[in-house]
Amino acid sequence: RKEVEQDPGPFNVPEGATVAFNCTYSNSASQSFFWYRQDCRKEPKLLMSVYSSGNEDGRFTAQLNRASQYISLLIRDSKLSDSATYLCVVSSGGFKTIFGAGTRLFVKA
Amino acid sequence: GAVVSQHPSWVICKSGTSVKIECRSLDFQATTMFWYRQFPKQSLMLMATSNEGSKATYEQGVEKDKFLINHASLTLSTLTVTSAHPEDSSFYICSAREGREAFFGQGTRLTVV
């Protein structure tokens, strides 16, 4: 079993749609959780951290369920510029960071 | 935010030669840096954890004699791909953490011909 697993994608959605990505992790000792965004042929960049209480940043909402070892990302009112690969990232002790395979999102006009 | 600089951004080399990739943390000190490899349409795969002043820790299946890592200072880690072969062609990217956030270099696209 992979340490971090994500929805396979790709997700093809129209502008304005709401889309949700899911991610599960296997290491119950994981401490930090993030969503990163990666554009084609570019390095990943932090989209948002994920906290147990859930957190929101504009159109983006991230949630963490430690009991189920599950992380989610919700994007509301999708924009064309949201088209990218979204990486679920889990960090254990010692700064080791594990990436999910990524979910590709295509937002079309 | 913190900046991680990686050089070169792309390199083409002949099969059998060695290629060195540098990763620098520009405005913070990084005792630990990470090296990843990404094949087209695939996830970032952790290759090794680079520790300043000590040996790197390699992930299972990564040949330490082929991918030499040196972390001689708090701001510089290097990855050398030795005796490169076409199957080593990939996108190599380094990362360093400051606080909770991981910052990435721009990546190096290696093509071995």
Nearest to A48 by CA among B100, B30, B96: B100
In which band, very low, low, confident or very high, does the pLDDT at A17 lie, cut at 50, 70 and 90?
very high
Per the structure block, which two tokens stand in for A45? 């960049």
Q: What are phi and psi of A82, to 5 degrees?
A: -80, -10
- Could you tell me if B9 and B110 are in contact, meaning their C-beta atoms sit under 8 angstroms apart? no
Task: Give me the mean pLDDT over the A49-75 stretch.
Answer: 93
How many whole angstroms separate alpha carbon B48 and alpha carbon A34? 20
Interface test with B, best of A43, A51, A99 (most B CBs within 10 A): A43
| pLDDT of A99 strictly over 80 | yes
Closest residue in B to A51 (Cα) is: B100
Q: Check whether the bond before A10 is cis (ω within 30° of 0).
A: yes
| Kind of pairing between the strands at B32-38 and B67-73 | unpaired
Task: Give me the mean pLDDT over the B14-25 stretch.
Answer: 96
Query: What's the confidence (pLDDT) of residue A93?
Result: 62
Query: What's the confidence (pLDDT) of residue B102?
Result: 79
Task: Give me the mean pLDDT over the B19-34 stretch.
Answer: 92
Q: What are phi and psi of B88, to 5 degrees?
A: -85, -10
Do residue B102 and residue A42 have CB atoms under 8 angstroms apart? Answer: no
- Residue % of chain B over a pLDDT of 70: 98
Query: What's the confidence (pLDDT) of residue A51?
Result: 84
Query: What's the confidence (pLDDT) of residue A92?
Result: 75
Query: What's the confidence (pLDDT) of residue B83?
Result: 96
How many whole angstroms separate alpha carbon A94 and alpha carbon A79? 37
In which band, very low, low, confident or very high, does the pLDDT at A9 lie, cut at 50, 70 and 90?
confident
Least confident of A4-18, A77-91, A95-109, B67-81: A95-109
Nearest to A43 among B34, B43, B107 (CB): B107
Q: How far is A19 from chain B (nearest CA, A)?
A: 21
Across-strand partners of A74?
A: A20, A61
| pLDDT of B80 strictly over 90 | yes
| pLDDT of B101 strictly over 80 | no
Task: Say if residue A45 is exposed, middle or buried (CB neighbours under 10 Å; 0-12, 13-18, 19+).
Answer: middle
Mapped onto helix, strand or coil, the DSSP state of residue A95 is helix
| pLDDT top residue among A88 and A51 | A88
Nearest to B40 by CA among B94, B103, B105, B109: B109
Nearest to B43 among A32, A96, A101 (CB): A101
Strand ordering across the sheet containing A19-25: A4-6, A19-25, A70-75, A60-65, A55-57
Tell whether B67 is within 8 A of chain A (Cβ): no
- Residue % of chain A over a pLDDT of 90: 64
Query: What's the confidence (pLDDT) of residue A41?
Result: 77
Q: Check whether the bond before B8 is cis (ω within 30° of 0).
A: yes
Counting DSSP H helices and E strands in chain A, the numbers are 0, 11
